[in-house]
Structure 1
Amino acid sequence: MMTIKQINVTVGEITKGYTNNDEQGIRGYNGLLDIRPPYQREFIYSEKEQQAVITTVLNGYPLNVMYWVKRNDDAECPYEVMDGQQRTLSLCEYVDGQFAYDFKNFFNLLPDIQQKILNYPLTIYVCEGEASEKLEWFKTINIAGKPLNEQEINNAVFAGPFVSDAKRHFSKINCAAYRLGKDLLNGNTIRQDFLKKALEWMADHETRNGKRQTLVGYMAAHQHDTNANNLWSYFQNVLNWAITNFDIKKYHKIMKGLDWAFFYDKYSNETLDCASINKRISELLRDSEIQKQQGIIPYILTGDEHYLDLRAFPEDIKFSVWEKQDHKCRICGKEFDFEFMEGDHITPWKDHGRTNIDNCQMLCRECNRRKGSK
């Protein structure tokens, strides 16, 4: 049964013995507090938000309640931060001299101001119970500041060696995943966007190979793996294939955000004519009929014109042609009201047909569908 009790801790106590390094992790409270346990997010407070924490303390305003968890199996470091990591790190970093407030470092403050900060009382609630109870509370308490996103919650629910190792690859500033994929993926590593995309790609990969899988299902199945090497290897293979076969220096704007895992799984065993592909990309980028340039590479690989969002005839051209055809479908010859007819390219785009009045014919919906399916 989970128990919750309130304790009072000062800024001076929580910042005492503060360490932040790869070997020892992030510790405070004289080494007794794990400030960033495996399920926690990376530090995301902006400088402005850090400054707001110090403003609150200096003005004696109440800082939001923080939540810790009491560990039953770690006498060396018996507490971990459940909620309040960003505020705790802001306080620790400021007292440690890592940033300035009002152009003053903590060590440049007058002694009485320093003491005012160190004596500031923090309200902490400590909960003790089973791991499942701890995580459920973590999901439901009011997270102050920036709400957790879906992937951060998943990291909490499936905390373990797999997530810890995955975050090493995908969730740090300038991490390996960012260096490899910054021109190919959207999002922010700190907010877990790269990790989420890697997991989505892996789940889709397993599904395409006959093992129906979801992101959550994959995390659950591998929660207790000692590392995330398989996920990292697949991610590297996908992006290295994209970088090898396409000129990322020239075309990174239309390459970013594509489902590279889908194309890797489908085409990685083929030998692509890279020179021909890059020449075709250059040609298509100059084609004013293409409304979605990011669809050019998918189109080249698949031949599916839907990726390109080709120009459609504007209403004035369609109405003019409808009038010229005496309101009749060019194929079946039946008369239709304007709203039941569609503009069609006489000469298709692939045969260099343009979207102008000379290349437009009005067809009924049924004839247009039948023509399009041929």
Structure 2
Amino acid sequence: MKIELHEISIRELTEGYEDNGDDGVKGYGGKLDIRPPYQREFIYGDKDRTAVIDTVTSNFPLNVMYWAVRDDGTYEVIDGQQRTISICQFVEGDFAHFFKYFHNLTHEEQDHILDYKLMVYFCEGTEKEKLKWFETINIAGKQLTKQELRNAVYSGSWVSDAKRYFSKNGCVASQIGSDYLTGSAIRQEYLETAIDWISNGNIDIYMAKHQKDQNASPLWRYFQEVITWVDGTFTTKRKKFMKGVEWGKLYNKYKDVVYNTDEIENEVAMLIADDDVERKSGIYPYILTRDEKFLGIRAFSDTVKQKIYDKQKGICLICNNHFDISDMEADHIVPWRDGGKTEEENCQMLCKLDNRTKSGK
């Protein structure tokens, strides 16, 4: 790996600047790819852009940037895209700084900005070394997500096409799945979720396998199938509780099971109304798996546990041995699944061994 520090003036950086939308952003006389396919969309707001121009006009040092040197002698930004675009947009007159556009400045003020020197490391190395660079570089307050790092390592035709479906504001994945997904499409979290689902957690392996594919159509079809299955299985949409559920992994396991949707909806409504169920989003995986761990069943309070412990005089009601309260656990006499509530009258203290043996039956 070879890394060299260069001084690049804003005048040089902005020469030949072009923003062609989905076709990319160029600068540095057309030799710099400012937004390679794996990079995120522009996410800086007015406050961020102003901070960049403040730094330049005050002649303070801007955080160092990193460019990768390509085999053909051109460059691509691996860190500094947001700062670079902010600078270029200001010089192009896309926004004002303290109510003045670039063309409103005096020639001396313009030259002061254009002659400002950016510190840029030129990096030569393998694709995998990019990941190391990304992981160790601080991105000026906009830390890259893990998926953005992966997009860099496995960049190519597949990533570019996958981003078309999953990585833009208002993308088609957002249109059909935003009620079920957490995070942001533009920060690559929708893409990460879809790959996580289809690969059962093996995101890097999946991306490495498909890196050279011409398109990401299979991933998009899979995502559509998951959302269609959710809509058909849980017919009443409850956005508040349905976001963030591991829908794809549930689909992978239960997609071929035929359910009575009326019974499911009745049970969902009942569980939502049950005060003992503290994790409402866990209702959906619980209905499919019958594993109560998803529900976060309300625990007995310390006050109730102490009161029942004193009432039993520290005796476990199964083995009849005496224990300190720290060695005992509160148990539902009538199990929650059989209608037992988390109330004092339904509480008994058992030693840890007997409680866990009882719970496993």
Indicate whether the TM-score tops 0.5.
yes
The answer on whether the counterparts of 1:50 and 1:87 sit within 8 Å (CA) in structure 2 is yes
> In 2, Cα distance between the equivalents of 1:172 and 1:372?
47
**2:159 paired with 1:157:** no
Could you report, residue by residue, the CA deviation over 1:21-60 in whole angstroms, capped at 9, with x for unpaired residues? 2464111223222111233333233322211111111122
What is the CA distance between 1:63 and its match in structure 2?
2.3
Instruction: Flag the 1:310–1:123 CA change in 2: closer, same or farther, 3 A.
Output: closer
Match of 2:285 among 263, 281, 298: 298
Let me know the Cα RMSD of the aligned residues: 2.5
Cα distance in structure 1, aligned partners of 2:328 and 2:70: 69
Could you tell me which amino acid in structure 1 is paired with residue 4 of structure 2? I
Question: Any conservation in 1 of the 2:79–2:134 contact (CA below 8 Å)?
Answer: no
Question: 8 Å contact 2:333–2:348 — kept in the other structure?
Answer: yes
Aligned to 2:264: 277
Larger mean CA deviation between 88-97 and 170-179 belongs to: 170-179
- C-alpha deviation, 1:247, in angstroms: 4.5
* Cα shift at 1:137: 6.7
Could you tell me how far apart the structure 1 residues matched to 2:23 and 2:166 are? Answer: 20
**1:350 CA displacement:** 2.3
Task: Please say if residues 15 and 27 of structure 2, whose CA atoms lie closer than 8 Å, have aligned partners that are also in contact.
Answer: yes
Q: In the alignment, does 2:34 pair up with 1:35?
A: yes
Counterpart pick for 1:114 among 110, 114, 139: 110
The alpha-carbon deviation at position 122 of structure 1 amounts to 2.8
Residue identity in the other structure for 1:35: I
Q: Which residue of 2 aligns with 1:208?
A: none
Secondary structure at 1:361 match in 2: strand
Amino acid corresponding to residue 205 of structure 2 in structure 1? G
Alignment correspondent of 1:242 = 230
SS of alignment partner, residue 196 of structure 1: helix
Task: Give the residue type in structure 2 aligned to 1:337.
Answer: D
Stretches of 4+ aligned residues off by more than 6 angstroms:
none
Partner of 1:175: 171
Match of 1:207 in 2: none
For 1:19, give the aligned amino acid. Answer: E
Unaligned stretches of 5+ residues in structure 1: 205-212
1:142 equivalent to 2:147? Answer: no
Provide the TM-score with structure 1 as the length reference. 0.86
Q: Using the alignment, how far apart are the partners of 1:364 and 1:126 within structure 2?
A: 64
Aligned to 1:216: 204
Q: 1:368 aligns with which of 351, 355, 359?
A: 355
What is the CA–CA distance in structure 2 between the aligned matches of 1:123 and 1:363, rounded to whole Å?
A: 67
SS state of the match for residue 270, structure 1?
Answer: coil
Q: What secondary structure does 1:362 align onto?
A: strand
Q: What residue number does 1:4 align with?
A: 4
Deviations along 1:115-166, one digit per CA (max 9) or x if unpaired, are: 4323333333434x45448636734663441333322222222222112222
Q: CA deviation at 1:110?
A: 4.2
Q: CA separation of 1:276/1:109 partners in 2, compared to 1, >3 Å: closer, same or farther?
A: farther
Q: Once the 2 structures are TM-superposed, how far is the Cα of residue 224 of structure 1 from its aligned partner?
A: 1.1
Q: Which residue of 2 aligns with 1:267?
A: 254
Asked if structure 1 preserves the Cα contact closer than 8 Å seen for 2:19 and 2:26, the reply is yes
* Deviations 1:294-332 (CA, angstroms, capped at 9, x unpaired): 111112222222211112222222222233233322233
Separation in 1, partners of 2:353, 2:186: 51
CA–CA distance in structure 2, aligned partners of residues 230 and 350 of structure 1: 40
After superposition, where does 1:36-185 map in structure 2 within 5 Å?
Answer: 36-73=35-72, 78-127=74-123, 129-132=124-127, 135=130, 138-139=133-134, 142-145=137-140, 146-185=142-181
Residue type matched to 1:224 in 2?
K
Counterparts of 1:187 and 1:248, CA distance in 2? 22
**Is the Cα contact below 8 Å between 2:67 and 2:120 reproduced in 1?**
yes
The answer as to 2:228 corresponding to 1:229 is no
C-alpha distance in 1, partners of 2:255/2:220?
Answer: 17
Correspondences of 1:290-329 after superposition (within 5 Å): 290-329=277-316
Query: Distance in 2 between the 1:264 and 1:329 partners?
Result: 43
Q: For residues 68 and 223 of structure 1, what CA distance do their matches in structure 2 show?
A: 22
Query: Higher mean Cα deviation, 286-295 or 96-105?
Result: 96-105
Percentage of identical aligned residues: 45
* Residue 337 of structure 2 is aligned to residue 350 of structure 1: yes
C-alpha contact (below 8 Å) 1:289/1:354 kept by paired residues:
yes
Deviation at 1:355, TM superposition (A): 1.6
Q: Is the 8 A contact 2:135 2:149 kept in 1?
A: no
Which amino acid in structure 2 is aligned with residue 226 of structure 1? Answer: Q
Moved more, 281-290 or 237-246: 237-246
TM-score by length of 2: 0.89
Instruction: Give, as a single letter, the amino acid of the residue that structure 1 aligns with 2:54.
Output: T
Query: Is the 8 Å Cα contact of residues 248 and 255 (structure 1) preserved in structure 2?
Result: no
| CA 23–255 in structure 1, closer or farther in 2 if over 3 Å, else same | closer
Gap regions ≥5 residues in structure 2: none
> Aligned pair in 2 of structure 1 residues 270, 35: CA closer, same or farther (>3 Å)?
same
CA distance in 2, matches of 1:160, 1:281: 43
